[in-house]
Amino acid sequence: MNTLALQQQALLDALFQRPGGEGAARARQTLDAWLAPHAGRGLAAYQANGHALAERSLMAAYPVITQLIGQENMAPLARALWHRHPPVRGDLAHWGEALPLFLQHEEQLAHLPWLADVARIEWALHQAGGAPDAQTDAGSFARLADEDPQGLTLALAPGTAVFTSTWPVASLVTAHREGQPRLDEVARRLRDGVGESAVVWRQGMRPCAAGCTAAAAIWLGALLQGGPVPDALNRATACDDAFDLSAWLAQAVQQGLVVGVVDARAPLPSHTPTTEEAP
C-alpha cells in the first residue's frame, strides 16, 4: 500500500473503533504516527460527524424502533452499532441491516424481546423503498386459465418479504406507522403472547406492511422462491383448508402485491422454508 492508502486506513481504523477500548488505543497510536500533531483534533471531529450520521441514518431506517425505545436510547444504540458493524459502502442508506441481530443479543433490551422481529420488518420496508420499479402485467393473468398452472407462479411486487414471529409484530409496526390497531390492543396481544405473520411490499412508490394469516405467509413464501402455483397452494391449504385463493388474489392484485404471472422455477422440496421465521 502507498503512503496515502496507509494514512486513510489508519484514519478508518481509528474512526470505527469503539472509544475507550484497547483496539481504539492501538488505532490512535498508529494514526498519531502518521498524522501527528493534528490527528487528535481531526479524529474527534470525524468521530462526532460519524456518530451524528449514524444516529440520523438509523432513525430514518427504523422509525418504529425509535418510537418504541425513544430517541434518547436510539442515539447511543446507533453509535454502538456504528462501531460494532461499521458501514462498508459510501451510501449510508445501505447501513443498518445488522440492527435486528444486534437487538436480539442486547442484554439491556432483553425485556423487549419483540424488538428484533420488528426491526426485521422495518429493514424490509427500508429496502422495499429502494426496490426496482415494476408494472402490473394484467394480460399475463390469462395464463392461469390457458396453461398448465404447474408451470406457472405469481410475480410479486419488488421488495416483497414475508415474516413469521411469535410476537404480534405486524400489529406493532402498523400501529406506529398507521395508527391501527390501537396501542391498547397491541399491548393486550403482547401480554397474551399472540404470534403474527407480516408481509412487506411496495405499492407504487410506497413501502407497505400488513398482517397476514399463517396460510397466506406460507403461500407467499413459496411464491417468493418461484414455486408453482399448485405446490404453493397445497402448502397453504395444508395450514388452513379455508384459504381462498380467488379472494386473496383479487385483493393482492388491487393492492399491487401481485404484478403478474410468470414461468415457475423448479418445484420446491417439502423441507424448504417459505417464510423468514424468527430464530
**Residue 115 pLDDT more than 60?**
yes
pLDDT tens for residues 75-104? 999 999 988 898 887 788 889 999 999 999
pLDDT tens for residues 147-204? 999 999 999 999 999 999 999 999 999 999 999 999 999 999 999 999 999 999 999 8
**Residue 1 pLDDT more than 90?**
no
Q: What is the pLDDT of residue 270?
A: 43
By mean pLDDT, which of 33-47, 113-127, 175-189 is the weakest? 33-47
Going from N- to C-terminal start, the domains of the chain cover 1-112, 113-279
Alpha-carbon distances, residue 238 vs 141, 146, 169 (angstroms): 25, 26, 24
**Residue 107 pLDDT more than 80?**
yes
Q: How confident is the model at residue 7 (pLDDT cuts 50, 70, 90)?
A: low
Q: How confident is the model at residue 41 (pLDDT cuts 50, 70, 90)?
A: low
**Residue 135 pLDDT more than 60?**
yes
Give the global pTM: 0.82
C-alpha torsion sign, points 60, 62, 68, 73: negative
Q: How confident is the model at residue 250 (pLDDT cuts 50, 70, 90)?
A: very high
Using the CB atoms, write b or e for 59-76: b if 16+ within 10 Å.
bebbbbbbebbeeeebbe
Spatial CA neighbour of 257 closest among 199, 211, 212, 214: 199
Compute the average pLDDT of residues 61-86. 93
For residue 140, the surrounding DSSP H or E stretch is none
Query: What secondary structure does DSSP assign to 197-263, as a single string?
Result: EEEEEEETTEEEEEEE-HHHHHHHHHHHTT--HHHHHHHHHHH-TT--HHHHHHHHHHHTSEEEEEE
Q: Where are the beta strands (DSSP E) in 50-96?
A: none
Q: What is the pLDDT of residue 44?
A: 65
**Residue 3 pLDDT more than 90?**
no
CA distance 172 to 4: 49
Q: How confident is the model at residue 19 (pLDDT cuts 50, 70, 90)?
A: low
Q: Which residues pair with 201 in a beta bridge?
A: 208
Compute the average pLDDT of residues 241-253. 96
Q: What is the pLDDT of residue 83?
A: 83
